[in-house]
Each structure stands twice: as structure tokens, then as C-alpha cells.
Amino acid sequence: MIILSIDTSCDETAAAVTSGRKILSNVIYSQVLLHKKWGGVVPSLAKRAHEERIDSVINRALKSANINIKKIDAIAVTQGPGLAIALGVGINKAMELALQYKKPLLGINHLEGHLYSAFAQNKKGNPKKNIAFPYLGMIISGGHTEFVLWKNHLEYELLGMTLDDAAGEALDKAGKLLGLGYPAGSVVERLAEQVGNVDEYKFPRPMIRSGDLNFSFAGLKTSFYYFLKTISEEEKNKRISYLASAFQEAVFDTILIKTEKAMKQTGISNLVVGGGVTANKYLRKKMRALTRKYKGAVHFPSMKVLTGDNAAMIGVAAWKKAERGLFSGTVDRQPRMQISSLAIEEKML
Ligand code: KG4
Ligand code: ZN
């Protein structure tokens, strides 16, 4: 089954062509430069930019996969979570194409996409990685920080999530306070690396004794903000790498402590982790060490382009739904969509 997939959930206009787990093309138009000067994503600007780019991004995805839209078997689109007006652009386009070319439609959860991206393969079917459920799934991105018990294809149970800011959002906000621009995750990584990822300023590890698997990063950002007020601008600038490193350490250490708890609670030591923050090499190293300690393994997206938002992951997440014929007549946008097992699905065919 060949699937054309679309994601416009945030600030990337993305389309891809996939066949099962294989990515035949993956086109991403990033709006990051558009939002940079505002220090975050502006929904109305995102919507307009999606509208301007969506046709060309889809056409490029089809062209680079060398396939005519008439030969596509189904169209998959991100239904949520995400920015409502941004999601709407991709959904309207997917419904329009489905009607015009008489193709079945699939509404996909963006978070499922982030999980499936660890199993996405290139055209040749590499990496081979077998899928062996169950997994402890994790999404660590700019919008989400969640634990999911991934029992099987299409079977998920949400175990915990952030109650306020996501991990990537916390890194972005701390980066902003340090004047590092937006988004700041990769800049923080680089600065921390320069000083050997040391933890010379101790910031809190929020919720590590909460007894559940939830996160909360808003307070950490606040304590960083107040700490910066106690030092001079000169010290801040001189010690910027150390400050970035300590903040990153607080975020990652919290994630690692909670992950170990989740592993003990579920008895699962095999992890699947996706989302923009998993581009971070230091985080990957820490997670590998943790799973090794429990004789498990951790699976990350194999290509950097699959860590952040993209449409190939939506196509791969649509794979099993399409195989089972779980199509929808229409797709409603669901900005606050949670990850959950298949509810009652409408069968179109
Ligand atoms: O998955 P993503 O592209 O968008 C969402 O769905 O949220 O994630 C974006 C987030 C941003 O917060 C960005 O700062 C963070 O991922 N990020 C990183 C790195 N690259 C991107 N965080 C830490 N280290 C990185 N190398
Ligand atoms: Zn995302």
C-alpha cells in the first residue's frame, strides 16, 4: 500500500510518500525563520505559510517518490494534537485530494507518528530493526513529554505526561532567557557539550518524588529565571555554556529518573523514543546507558530528519491502519488529541 501523508500540525509544512515502513520521499518546509523573530510559533502566520506551501510540498513529495497521485492507495493526515488552524490546512487539503482522486482517507495522531518514526526505513528497507512489542514509548518534543505503554500496533496506554511545559519548550524558554534565539534546543546542546556537560549550578529536578509518571517543567524555568536575576549580565555571558549545561542536565536528569521509574513500574526495558529533543546526542547516550543497565535497548529515529516534525512518520503510523482498512470518511481536527488505542472507527470502504 502506497500512502501520501501530510502534516501541518505546527510550523513545518510536510508531505511524504511511504510504503509500509519504507519512506519513498519526505519533504519538509520549515517555517522556523518566519517565527524566529517572534520567539515562538505564531498560529496565524503558520496557517498562512502552510496554505502558501502545501501544494508545492505535496507535489515535490510525489515527484521525488516518482509516483503519480492516481497510483496512491490512501491519503493520511495528522488529525491532532497541534495548532487548530494549522491542522485545518493539512486536513482540508487531504480531504480535497481524497475526494478529487477517490482515495480512502486516514486521520492519524501526530504522537503515534513520533513513536513510529523509530521504525521508519529508507527505500531499501534499512535499518532492518524488528518490531517486538511491548515497548515503553516516549515522546520528548517541543509540545509533548509523555510516557506511553505501547502494547501492539494501534494499542497504546498513556502512562504519564507533562502537566505544563514540555521538555523541548523548557529548553527553548531557558535558551531565550540566555539570548540564544528560537528554537534553542540544539544550541543548548552545543554549549553544554563545549564544557563537557557539567552540572555546576544545581537546578531542581521537578516531580521526581511525585509517585506518578507525570512531568512539570514550568517551575524549573521559573527557578532558572530567578537564578539569572541573582548574577550579573557579565557573569551570565561569561558562564553561558555552564548555565546552559546545568539547565539541560536538570531537564535530562529528570527525564532519566522518571524513565527508570517507568521501566520498573511496567517491567519493560525496551524503549522507543521520538520527538525533536531526541536529536540530542547526549540524551541518547544517557538513555542507552540506562536501558543497558536493565538489559534492554532503546530505539530512536534513525535519521535526524525523523526526530522533528515530518510527514513520513505519519505515513508509517498509517501503515497498520491502512492494512486493516480502518479508513475515515472525513477527518475532524483534534487540537488536543491524546494518544489512545483505536476507538470506534468509521469504515468507508
Ligand atoms: O518534535 P519537534 O520538532 O516539534 C514538536 O512536535 O514539538 O520538537 C521541537 C523541539 C524544540 O523544543 C527544540 O528546541 C527541540 O525539539 N530540539 C532539541 C534539539 N533539536 C531540537 N532539543 C535538544 N537537543 C537538540 N539537539
Ligand atoms: Zn511533533
Per-residue pLDDT of 20-33, as tens digits, reads 999 999 999 999 88
Whole-model pTM? 0.95
**Cα 338 to ligand 2 centroid, rounded to whole Å:** 13
Same domain for 204 and 334: no
Query: Is the CB of 308 inside a 6 Å radius of any atom of ligand 1?
Result: yes
What is the arrangement of strands in the sheet containing 105-109, beginning at the earlier edge strand? 22-30, 12-19, 2-7, 74-80, 105-109
pLDDT of residue 342: 63
Alpha-carbon separation of residue 84 from 97, 126, 239, 243, 294 (angstroms): 20, 35, 40, 35, 40
Q: Do residues 62 and 21 touch, judged by C-beta distance below 8 A?
A: no
Same domain for 313 and 286: no
Whether residue 186 is predicted with pLDDT greater than 70 in this model: the reply is: yes
Same domain for 222 and 240: yes
Q: Which ligand is nearest the CA of 217, by number?
A: 1
198 CB neighbour count, 10 Å cutoff: 12
**Cα 73 to ligand 1 centroid, rounded to whole Å:** 32
Same domain for 55 and 69: yes
Q: Do residues 201 and 250 touch, judged by C-beta distance below 8 A?
A: no
Cα–Cα dist 148/298, whole Å = 14
pLDDT of residue 39: 86
Which residues constitute the domain of residue 143?
135-301
Task: Please provide the average confidence, as pLDDT, over all residues in the chain.
Answer: 95
Locate the ligand 1 atom nearest the alpha carbon of residue 184 and give its number: 14
130 within some domain: no
56 within some domain: yes
Whether residue 346 is predicted with pLDDT greater than 50 in this model: the reply is: no
Alpha-carbon separation of residue 276 from 132, 155, 347 (angstroms): 24, 23, 33
Counting residues of the chain whose pLDDT is more than 90, the rounded percentage is 93
290-340 residue pLDDT tens = 999 999 999 999 999 999 999 999 999 999 999 999 999 899 999 999 998
* For residue 134, cis peptide bond before it (omega within 30 degrees of 0): yes
The number of folded domains in the chain is 2
Mean predicted confidence (pLDDT) in 215-221:
97
90-146 residue pLDDT tens = 999 999 999 999 999 999 999 999 999 999 999 999 999 999 999 999 999 999 999
Q: Taking the CA of residue 234 as centre, how many other CA atoms within 13 Å lie in the half-sphere pointing to its CB? A: 0
Same domain for 286 and 146: yes
348 within some domain: no
348 CB neighbour count, 10 Å cutoff: 14
Q: Which residue has the higher pLDDT, 155 or 347?
A: 155
Closest to 83 measured CA to CA, from 35, 146, 138, 148? 35
pLDDT band for 344, please (50, 70, 90 cuts).
very low
Same domain for 273 and 221: yes
Mean predicted confidence (pLDDT) in 54-60:
98
Whether residue 349 is predicted with pLDDT greater than 90 in this model: the reply is: no
37 CB neighbour count, 10 Å cutoff: 9
Same domain for 160 and 290: yes
Same domain for 142 and 276: yes
Whether residue 189 is predicted with pLDDT greater than 70 in this model: the reply is: yes
What is the arrangement of strands in the sheet containing 155-161, beginning at the earlier edge strand? 155-161, 145-152, 135-140, 270-274, 297-299
